[in-house]
Structure 1
């Protein structure tokens, strides 16, 4: 499935609006709320995912499909 994901990386001069209410996508994967300004982000299948720092983005991009699934599961929980 990872091969089906089209990756387009972007770090623009302006902040983007991303999935998970602009929370860090890697934070959401780990079940944590980490607010970002979305200046560090990645485009995956036409959606923008925000990150708190470059290390979080690098870790997330090791398995974007799996991490998106985990983040979606965590974000759907009432405590997130």
Structure 2
């Protein structure tokens, strides 16, 4: 079992917004960029293709990271924290 991650409602909302943007805007854009780079031919020396693949890897990793955080989120109210 993964450890619960405390976060505020606002923090959870920001992560959800980022996740939505990554899935609905960034991911489709990078898929298009990869397709365009592939159309240029030889992939072994195609800097645009390599760059797009690296960006895709980052986006997919960030999506997985956010989904894991949200699935283990424990929403807290900072006003109730004593310390």
TM-score range, shorter chain: under 0.3
TM-score under structure 2 normalisation?
0.26
Higher relative contact order (CA 8 A, sep 6+): 2
- Relative to its length, the structure with more helix (as a share) is 2
Report the structure number with the largest CA radius of gyration. 2
Please identify which structure carries the higher strand content: 1
